[in-house]
Chain A
Amino acid sequence: MDPIHDKILADPRFRELVSRRNRFSFTLAVIVLAVYAGFVSVAVFNPALFASSFAGQSAWAWGLIAGFCIQGFAFVMTGIYTRRANGEFDRLAQDAIRGGKAA
């Protein structure tokens, strides 16, 4: 194994990076999965709710509007992750690599 890898692995900044990023991506993944599971469950177990009028009297079904919103929500979630990962997480990763090389 590359000796730098050993040092990076032992570097507290690396551990910090991994735990922070995992916590973040895991949380986001669970939220996305929960939203999707909720959507599927309503479609399968409560089709009447899925089909009910949006805002009470619209011709559009609730399920349809919700589906469109979830697609937008997926986009927003990728934006949130990308923003934090490309900033904070990448800086941590660079620090850990620099630390590994300097030590």
Chain B
Amino acid sequence: MKRSVTLATAALIAAPGLAWAAGGAIEGEVAKRSVNVTAIGMFLFFVLATLVLTAWAARRTKSTSDFYTAGGGITGFQNGLAIAGDYMSAAAFLGVSGMVFTKGVDGVFYTVGWTVGWPLILFLIAERLRNLGRFTFADVASFRFDQNRIRTLSAFGALTVVIFYLIAQMVGAGKLIQLLFGLDYAYAVVLVGVLMVAYVTFGGMLATTWVQIVKAVLLLGGCTILVVLGLAQFGFSPEAMMQAALDNHTLHEAIRAPSASISDPITAVSLGLALMCGPAGLPHILMRFFTVPDAKAARKSVFFATGFIGYFFVLAVTIGFLAITLVGTNPAYLDPAGKIIGGANMAAIHLSEVVGGNVFLGFISAVAFATILAVVSGLALSGASAVSHDLYARVLMKGKASDKSEMKVTRFATLVLGALAIVLGLAFEDQNIAFMVGLAFGLAASVNFPVLIMSIFWRGMTTRGAFVGGLLGLVSAVACVVLGPTVWVTVLGFETAIFPWEQYALFSMSIAFAGIWLFSVTDSSKRAALDRAGFDAQFVRSETGHGASGAVAH
């Protein structure tokens, strides 16, 4: 049991980009902090600045292309920062440092998995995605297939991922803000929802990208200062810092070895797969590749993003080791039982107060909140575009919708998503919603990713194969989560889990890929012949970029 709880936490933290989620992120009862004026002041300044940015972006957001992809005018470097921003969530920052704080090197097991996914995305997906798509990843997944079925499947794949993530983010945001600023949970949720809608409806992708860039710079800068100030306490000697961590941690030398939670091979493989393939199925991350002008810039984005992400994770892990000594031995941050106040994920926040006083604490808290805001905005935008571009303009109107009506639908969809996020955020305050993150992530890896990658690379895939395989991936991911330890045992209260593993990507992904293969090779319909015949044109475009949207005519 203890082990499955550890795994539950691991699963949470495992979802890149956003999974810093609820329940696992802030443990136990959240004690409301006294109102922190400095933190609120800095945060208000950030909000003000981003609203000015949004007003500027709103004047430049006129067409659907502006709205979805900032007109494709973001540079590779900017997009690299924005991708890194999407990835460096509160989960990564607070979750990884918290994990190192409690368990030691386990944290680095995750950060390595998150980082190595990026070279693979670059080698296999990034440029082909840019060459084939225009606004959403469904553009690519449904390129040569029956629009009704495959685009609808992809759009729903995107929407479910977005909604589950949004709920988790909203609940997590509410709790975190309670802790950081002493604000009421309900205020926090409404505030996040309203700001998210404002950024997206008015400023579209341009505002969302710049909010993400500003936040990424603040987070990278803040963490760098945190590490430098922390190391200063050890005379800038990493060796002295680590020695002190070994001396002061209750587990001592054991924090140098991986804990039991990652020593099961099936779990390790499943987790590794999920860490690597997950981001390639997350709609708000994939959408970033359409904001740059061409394949060249798409490659550069990944190059810069990987650098920023790798650097950030080194900082996050180091922050955890610094906190072991500087926070873990400081009675001001421990409750009578010797546990850290607010749970392990507060380690980085407490550390900022130790090394930089109240002002720095305010700054780091504001950055953590900004992080949540930026991530939910990206999610809302990709969810809205699945509704307006995929479902409304392509499936319902068969591509005959006017730019104007599509924009209306997209703004309305954002509003509905915002309202939904607020209502569900409030409704789920005291629920165990940890499984939602796992589910959202599993869906990304088991539905969106297999359909996308096979549609790009496998000539033999047909509409039927993609549709049935995608559905099988969806059903098996949901089944693994519901029958697994978190939902079956923790939420529903059954004695033992029917599906014993917390990590299930190995199973659901295999089922999806096998389904796609089986139902494609046995498909001899007329549609199947069309699907296969369409591969050559798709292949030329995906490899050369000829005919790609936004590419300059040669």
Residues of A within 8 A of B (CB): 1-2, 4-6, 8-9, 14, 17-18, 21, 25-26, 28-29, 32-33, 35-36, 39-40, 43-45, 47-48, 50-51, 58-61, 63-64, 67-68, 70-72, 74-75, 77-79, 81-82, 85-86, 90, 93-94, 96-98, 100-101
Q: Which residues of B contact A35 (CB under 8 A)?
A: 116
Chain A minimum-CB-distance residue to B300:
A82
The answer to whether A59 and B246 touch across the interface, beta carbons within 8 angstroms, is yes
Question: Which of A25, A39, A75, A90 has a CB less than 8 Å from the CB of B307?
Answer: A75
By CB atoms of chain B within 10 A, which of A32, A78, A81, A96 has the most?
A: A78
Q: Beyond A25-B124, A71-B314, A78-B122, is A93–B299 a contact (Cβ under 8 Å)?
A: no
A32 and B120 within 8 A (CB)? yes
With A40-B272, A43-B268, A86-B300 already in contact, the answer to whether A29 and B544 are too (CB < 8 A) is no
Q: How far is the CA of A75 from the CA of B310 in the complex (A)?
A: 7
Interface-forming stretch among B104-112, B133-141, B155-163, B436-444?
Answer: B104-112
A72 to B311, CA, bound (A): 8
Contact A36 B116 (CB under 8 A): yes
Q: Which residue of B119, B256, B264, B272 contacts A29 across the interface (Cβ within 8 Å)?
A: B119
Q: Which one of B112, B265, B268, B299 lies within 8 Å of A71 (CB-CB)?
A: B112
In the complex, what residue of chain A is closest to B262 when comparing beta carbons?
Answer: A43
User: When the two chains form their complex, are residues A68 and B122 in contact, meaning their CB atoms are under 8 A apart?
Assistant: no
Task: Give chain A's interface secondary structure class.
Answer: helix
Q: How distant is B370 from chain A, measured CB to nearest CB, in Å?
A: 24
A28-B123, A86-B296, A93-B545 given; A51·B105 CB < 8 A? yes
Instruction: Evaluate contact between A43 and B537: CB separation under 8 angstroms.
Output: no
Q: Which residues of A contact B109 (CB under 8 A)?
A: 40, 43, 67
Least Cβ distance of A39 to chain B in Å? 6
The answer to whether A74 touches B119 (Cβ under 8 A) is yes
Cβ-neighbour of A50 out of B105, B113, B120, B239 (below 8 A): B105
Q: Counting chain A CB atoms within 10 Å of each CB, which of B540, B541, B554 scores highest?
A: B540
In the assembly, what is the distance between CA of A91 and CA of B263, in Å?
47
Q: Is the interface of B mostly helix, strand, loop or mixed?
A: helix
- With both chains docked as a complex, state the minimum distance between the C-beta of B328 and any C-beta of chain A, in angstroms: 16
Q: Which residues of B contact A (CB under 8 A)?
A: 105, 108-109, 111-113, 115-116, 118-120, 122-124, 127, 238-239, 242-243, 245-246, 253, 256-258, 262-265, 268-269, 272, 276, 295-296, 299-300, 302-303, 306-307, 309-310, 313-314, 317, 536-537, 539-541, 543-547, 554
Which residues on the A side are within 8 Å of B314 (C-beta)?
A: 68, 71
Q: Which 8 A-B pairs have the closest CB atoms?
A: A51-B257, A71-B310, A67-B108, A61-B256, A59-B242, A25-B123, A51-B256, A59-B243
By the criterion CB–CB under 8 Å, are A36 and B272 in contact? yes
The distance in angstroms between the C-alpha atoms of A101 and B539, with both chains bound, is: 17
A-B contact pairs, 19 of them (CB 8 A): A9-B536, A29-B124, A32-B116, A36-B276, A40-B109, A43-B263, A43-B268, A50-B257, A51-B257, A63-B108, A71-B111, A74-B115, A75-B310, A78-B303, A81-B119, A81-B123, A93-B545, A93-B546, A98-B554
Nearest residue, chain B, Cβ from A49: B257
